[in-house]
Structure 1
């Protein structure tokens, strides 16, 4: 007959580790000044660890009858936790800092303790907000070159790009290594206005040791050359063509001499010549001054009628969004809208509401034309973001499929039923919500003044 008794085995082994009775293994961990020697038992290590079992089957160093193991690349603090786990099967990581957790995870991976590695990674992801905010620079530096942390690295970068204040508002931001800053500025999903990216880049550049004078008005040619060398690899990553001319004049022109003459001429052409299309850089290429990649990912989900968006959707967008028209640049008239947007098949319209962070808009799965007709579809939708920086503030409603889902008129702009429309006969800067007719209500006001609006062609990849 089998009897099960309550076991105190883990407690007994924990006591054995503490008092070091009959130990026969000396493990030297870390390097001075962070160095510690641990006294352990070969039988326990072999039973509990594939890594240590392999070591004991090989030609291992012995001195005075003791096995000697040296691991200089592991921190004593991390190994202390691992050793307690090997002896007692217990682990507590709840009160560890982000740096301590990463060191523990790296040590667990090297010692082939897959269960601990996965446990720590899951814990970090579940507690990533606190984990990143405590020391985003230190965390990124640790995970940058460590292969076992590649999944965690991508997760952290996704989080920082989604909530950039975690990094850019950190009091240690200026200590961010250039290699990491370059990785972040190359990302497609960095959720900052382009002018804000520029301002942070200038702040970072001025904090580098080579800069002798913070006052740009007092710079000589040597100072300019030094600053140009600091920022040269980052300048191609700034999408100057998304920056309003007022911001360019106030925030970029003072530093204009660090830009190449070719780039300055190209920017000038962009501001002065209607329809000029400059060479774009490799980051997110919607060319919008209203929305970011996270909005594009969400629009794609709505087009495919998916209920939820996860973080992976941001990097796997199934559609291309080509900017066809921007009112402030291409001419805010019915003729300009139809000239650029008619017969382009599926499009999405995005409108920035004046004096707010609100954006509204709609998706037309058919096409715009100037034939003064109405079209039926159940795939069109209209939407509103109370705060464009907060995806949770979004609300979307699909057409009921009636014959007025999409309306086209030569003297009007985009028209979604009687629910959201731009009537140039009345005003070029007011969007109207005349009634709840073809779409369920979004609780929009009847008249909405806009700063600008954009129309994108939507193409399946």
Structure 2
């Protein structure tokens, strides 16, 4: 009698699963706050897999296959999970590409889906244009967007990254969204709200790689959002972020070692305070000009007299003023002169190569990294 009962129940369940539209069934597992829901069409595949150890995904939609992936993970059916994840990568790549945002939102919650997540990220980085122009992009989770923008291998022009960030930020900001995206009608509160939304993302944009015309036309109108300081730009240069393969997320602590207005203009005092302190940054501002000059010494200053030091990472630079990031200039060591990059001469303060910078005629700020 029991075997007949289970046989009938099994047959009824199979009929129900094969005609989910008529039954309009959502199957729940778990209890209390740990309830998981599966569509009947997803459960059909499980039922057949459990009884036959076979699964056919050829006629299933991408959404249903994604549902099978998570159901197999929840039910700890490892072999099925691995098979379905590989199927999405190898056989459903077009669907995945067309639905990057909802797919990423779903799989980001499951550490076991790392293979599929990495596949999506790698594909986006290689060809981000279709992704950033997709209709769902503005709803992308902020943590996922941040992780993409901070990558070294994201193949996107900086101005395009800026454009898509502004677009995303507007849609994510209450009181702006698509019905109030006319910037000419914004007030200070609108800009402040957008700034709060984008605050953590702004440092990820490499403004030094944006052309002057694009900066003027596309970045400058949103200047209220940006707080770029010379120290941020110099940090980029130290990491060589003005190149095509910049590094990210290095944090620096700047300690003031010597300042002429505080310590007096004296080469001996400068050397006493700055020698053997590690990598050093020199900032110079003439009292009759807004220009800022400086240099970075990755070796640091040592007690020496007439000795050249080898490095390929030092550089000298200039700013027209602390607010003008478009007229910055940087000069790195010529590859033929690495052996002469730093000229250590104790009595003359600091020297970069054969160019001597006399501390007696300028105000100097020395900062250690």
TM-score above 0.5, yes or no: yes
Q: Note if contact 1:26-1:37 (Cα within 8 Å) is conserved in structure 2.
A: no
In the aligned structure 1, how far is the partner of 2:130 from the partner of 2:92?
11
Aligned: 1:35 with 2:2: no
CA deviation profile, 1:127-168 (whole Å, cap 9, x unmatched): 363032221111011111112212221221111111112311
How far residue 189 of structure 1 moved from its aligned partner, in angstroms, is 1.5
Q: Please give the TM-score of this superposition, normalised by the length of structure 1.
A: 0.47
Match of 1:399 in 2: none
CA deviation profile, 1:342-396 (whole Å, cap 9, x unmatched): 2459xxxxxxxxxxxxxxxxxxxxxxxxxxxxxxxxxxxxxxxxxxxxxxxxxxx
How far residue 175 of structure 1 moved from its aligned partner, in angstroms, is 1.7
Q: Tell me which of 202, 220, 227 is aligned to 2:166.
A: 202
* Length, aligned pairs only: 252
In the aligned structure 2, how far is the partner of 1:23 from the partner of 1:129?
35
In the aligned structure 2, how far is the partner of 1:147 from the partner of 1:25?
36
In the aligned structure 1, how far is the partner of 2:96 from the partner of 2:221?
34
Aligned: 1:112 with 2:76: yes
CA deviation profile, 1:59-103 (whole Å, cap 9, x unmatched): xxxxxxxxxxx9633333222111111122321112433332222
Aligned: 1:279 with 2:235: yes
Q: Note if contact 1:106-1:148 (Cα within 8 Å) is conserved in structure 2.
A: no
Change (3 A) 1:229 1:278: same
Q: Within 5 Å, which residues of 2 pair with 1:11-30? A: 21=8, 23=10
Between Structure 1 and Structure 2, the one with more helix by share is 2
Unaligned runs of 5+ in 2: 18-22, 247-311, 317-326, 340-369
Q: Note if contact 2:236-2:242 (Cα within 8 Å) is conserved in structure 1.
A: no
Q: Please give the TM-score of this superposition, normalised by the length of structure 2.
A: 0.57
Aligned: 1:130 with 2:74: no
In the aligned structure 2, how far is the partner of 1:82 from the partner of 1:200?
41
In the aligned structure 1, how far is the partner of 2:169 from the partner of 2:35?
38
Q: Note if contact 1:105-1:121 (Cα within 8 Å) is conserved in structure 2.
A: yes
Change (3 A) 1:85 1:344: farther
In the aligned structure 2, how far is the partner of 1:192 from the partner of 1:292?
12
In the aligned structure 1, how far is the partner of 2:53 from the partner of 2:71?
17
Unaligned runs of 5+ in 1: 1-15, 39-54, 56-69, 271-276, 294-320, 346-461
In the aligned structure 2, how far is the partner of 1:281 from the partner of 1:324?
9
Q: Within 5 Å, which residues of 2 pair with 1:29-428? A: 35-36=25-26, 72-127=36-91, 129-208=93-172, 209-211=174-176, 213-260=180-227, 263=228, 265-266=229-230, 278-280=234-236, 286-288=240-242, 291-292=244-245, 339-344=333-338
Change (3 A) 1:94 1:193: same
In the aligned structure 1, how far is the partner of 2:120 from the partner of 2:315?
34
In the aligned structure 1, how far is the partner of 2:40 from the partner of 2:10?
19
Structure showing greater relative contact order (alpha-carbon pairs closer than 8 Å, 6 or more residues apart)? 2
CA deviation profile, 1:419-461 (whole Å, cap 9, x unmatched): xxxxxxxxxxxxxxxxxxxxxxxxxxxxxxxxxxxxxxxxxxx
How far residue 120 of structure 1 moved from its aligned partner, in angstroms, is 1.1
In the aligned structure 1, how far is the partner of 2:85 from the partner of 2:60?
13
- CA-based RMSD of the aligned residues comes to 4.2
How far residue 251 of structure 1 moved from its aligned partner, in angstroms, is 1.0
Change (3 A) 1:129 1:322: farther
In the aligned structure 1, how far is the partner of 2:240 from the partner of 2:92?
29
How far residue 210 of structure 1 moved from its aligned partner, in angstroms, is 2.7
CA deviation profile, 1:314-343 (whole Å, cap 9, x unmatched): xxxxxxx97989xx9869xxxx78x53224
How far residue 221 of structure 1 moved from its aligned partner, in angstroms, is 1.0
How far residue 23 of structure 1 moved from its aligned partner, in angstroms, is 4.2
